[in-house]
Chain A
Amino acid sequence: MADSYNPDSEPTTRTLLRRVLDTADPRTPRRRRSAWMSAQKATPETHSSNRQNSGTKTTVRRSQRIRSVSKSAHVQASRQLEEQTPRTLLTNILLTAPESSIVMPEPGVKPLPTPKVAQSSRRESSRGSLELQFQELEPSITVAPSRLALGKRKQRLRLSVFQQEVEQELPPSHEPCGNADASSLTSSLNLTFTTPLQPQSVQRPGLARRPPNRRAVDVNAFLQDIQDTSLALAAPGDNLRTPVATLPTDMVLEDTQPFSHPLVGPSPSAPPSLPCSSHTGAEDVVRLVRHGPQCSSSGVQNKKDGAVPFQDGVHEAEEKMEESWRVNKEKETTTQRPAGMEESEVHTEPEPEGSLGTMDISGKAASPELASSIPEFLQARQLHQLLEQAPPPSTAALSSEPLEPQLTRHPPKARTPSSRSRQDPYKIGLNHYMKFFTFYAKMPMEKKALEMVEKCLDKYFQHLCDDLEAYAAHAGRKTVGPEDLELLMRRQGLVTDQVSLHVLVERHLPLEYRQLLIPCAFSGNSVFPAQ
């Protein structure tokens, strides 16, 4: 049955079922479900109910494994799997349905959540596998939001129809539903669903390729389906159970969403995105992201039953939201940063007039602000600096700044050396001997004492020069020789019969000077300095 129905409705049914029901649930069951939904609704339900009691988890896992092995095998096994999968779907629906029926007031909200669920299912599928995420998310946002909306609506219709039909046939299905409810309530079922989803994502790369085509096909069929669904929704309103069933279907979808709980979160974003389908993908993404948290909160409220799956879904939804936010932020940053660029440029503009240094500083200051900003900013800066203001101010600043500082610097430099030359050459020498004084004193001394030492040195040099002049003049020479100094030192009492000049030289002068003053014999029968 599924095979015959699949070729006709494969694209639409597959996409719809996948999106709507759950990416988490095996996709084949979804397709089969859609086929069954259209053709056979009661038969699979019965089978599913019977088998569900035995164990839905094992069936789902088997179906996934078979799919991974080969597509042909999938087709053959798909029948069995389809039965199993519809079972799971029905069980989920049933499980959720009773809850929703109990809640009752929710039915009014049904139309909105269904599209949300559809989007969420798509997102979930994308979440399941990274490849799927990229493909699905991008097309959903950019390519055909309208198509998505249509698909969502179609999904609603089909789900509602299924649910209605199922409800009509409910008596058999409800019993399994109770079992399924227990299983679904338990985290184990949720875990089982989640685990199969991951392998699917891994195996899906081939599957991922299909969705776009299916979507394209879906659009046409979905439009009709949507109309039908709208009519059906209006009509089923007459039957009390039908609305309840529709509501539970939504609920079921949400519940099945355990994987999809995140779906529920983003799903609310879908309705806003639908009207905005004409808008750019970026706007849709932003809206989706903004609505996301609200949706997640709503989904959590609706599905208080399964806290664990909700949390998982919420985490997934948050991750998706973060990704979408990143994209939005990037866009926002791109949009906002130009403003920042302008601001920074404005800041830089006045500064360059002042000086190049300020330009650099401003650029540096702006850079941290826009650190994350884009090369565009840098380019803009360069343009502004190079083209407009930077060159003239740079030249002016270069000419003005360096010249001024040079002028200011050079004179002080000239002054300092001049002042040193004027004062210091003599004082520096005196300082050198004052250091000797501090060294010989071997005691701390006041600065005023040093000033006195300086005066004493000054007087000493005067007396020294006068004495040397007198000695040289007395000897009839105009050149002051060592003998004059030796005589002076002898008169000063420094050189005595016990202490000769050479001894003093050896005591107080370093070796280099001693070699120059004390004659010494070298090899080759030479004496230096010559006497």
Chain B
Amino acid sequence: MAPSTTVSQRKLIKRKAPRGFLRRVFKRQKPHLRLGTGGDLLVHLNCLLFIHRLAEESRTKACEDKCGVIKKEHVMAAAKVILKKSRG
């Protein structure tokens, strides 16, 4: 159960940005707008920062609950805070 339910920490990760994916997402959300050069990279950066903040917040939440594993509740609580902070 443990291995199936839990995902271990990643030691290595690709830093390459899914630029195509980001452009497609933006185009699907706002078909009438076009994303300028380097816009997708900045979006990627923004998303990374968002994820970074979300992860740190959820980790702090998990630590507050004295839990070694980040649970769904922790992510929920962190997302509520971070999404509010990341409003434009």
Contacts and interface: CB of A to CB of B under 8 A. Distances in A.
A492 B6 contact: no
A442 B9 contact: yes
Contacts of B51: 433, 436-437, 440, 453, 457
A448 B72 contact: yes
Contacts of A442: 9, 55, 59
B34 A436 contact: no
B14 to A, nearest CB: 8
B68 A446 contact: no
Contact of B69 (A443, A460, A481): A443
Given A464-B88, A480-B39, A491-B88, A452 B76 contact: yes
B83 A480 contact: no
Contact of A509 (B7, B45, B88): B45
Interface stretch (A287-295, A326-334, A465-473): A465-473
A488 interface: yes
A450 B7 CA distance: 9
Nearest to A429: B21
Nearest to A510: B15
Contact of B21 (A425, A455, A491): A425
A465 B26 contact: yes
A466 B58 contact: no
B88 A453 contact: no
A410 interface: no
Nearest to B58: A441
Interface in B24-54: 24-26, 29-30, 32-39, 41-52, 54
B42 A482 contact: yes
B62 A509 contact: no
A478 B18 contact: no
Instruction: Determine the main DSSP class of B at the interface with A.
Output: helix
Which among B16, B38, B50, B58 has the highest number of chain A CB atoms within 10 Å? Answer: B50
A444 B6 contact: yes
A508 B45 contact: yes
A2 B68 CA distance: 114
A202 interface: no
Nearest to B32: A478
Contacts of B16: 510
A488 B46 contact: yes
Contacts of A481: 36, 39
Contacts of B8: 444
Interface in B56-74: 56, 58-59, 62, 68-72, 74
A530 to B, nearest CB: 10
Contact of A436 (B25, B48, B70, B85): B48
A431 B39 CA distance: 21
A450 B86 CA distance: 19
A508 B54 CA distance: 15
B18 to A, nearest CB: 5
A456 B6 contact: no
A435 interface: yes
B33 A441 contact: no
B46 A464 contact: yes
A467 B54 contact: no
A451 B71 CA distance: 11
A444 B10 CA distance: 9
A175 interface: no
Interface string A176-204: 00000000000000000000000000000
A452 B75 contact: yes
A456 B79 CA distance: 6
Given A443-B68, A485-B46, A438 B9 contact: yes
Nearest to A493: B85
B7 A492 contact: no
Contact of B46 (A426, A438, A450, A489): A489
A529 interface: yes
B55 A437 contact: yes
Given A441-B9, A456-B54, A482-B42, A508 B68 contact: no
A449 to B, nearest CB: 5
Contacts of A425: 21, 24
Given A444-B70, A463-B88, A429 B18 contact: yes
A461 B39 contact: no
B29 A461 contact: yes
B53 to A, nearest CB: 8
B39 to A, nearest CB: 5
B9 A444 contact: yes
A447 B5 contact: yes
A433 B22 CA distance: 11
Contacts of B47: 433, 457, 460-461, 464
A425 B23 CA distance: 12
Contacts of B79: 452-453, 455-456, 459
Given A447-B6, A453-B54, 20 more contacts: A428-B21, A433-B48, A439-B10, A440-B56, A442-B9, A443-B59, A444-B7, A444-B8, A445-B7, A446-B5, A447-B4, A453-B79, A456-B75, A459-B79, A463-B86, A464-B43, A464-B47, A481-B36, A486-B42, A505-B45
User: Can you list the 8 inter-chain pairs with the closest CB atoms, starting with the nearest?
Assistant: A467-B88, A429-B21, A445-B70, A465-B29, A440-B55, A485-B42, A452-B75, A448-B72
15 contacts: A440-B52, A442-B9, A443-B62, A444-B7, A444-B70, A457-B51, A462-B29, A466-B29, A468-B26, A468-B30, A468-B88, A482-B36, A491-B87, A513-B44, A517-B38
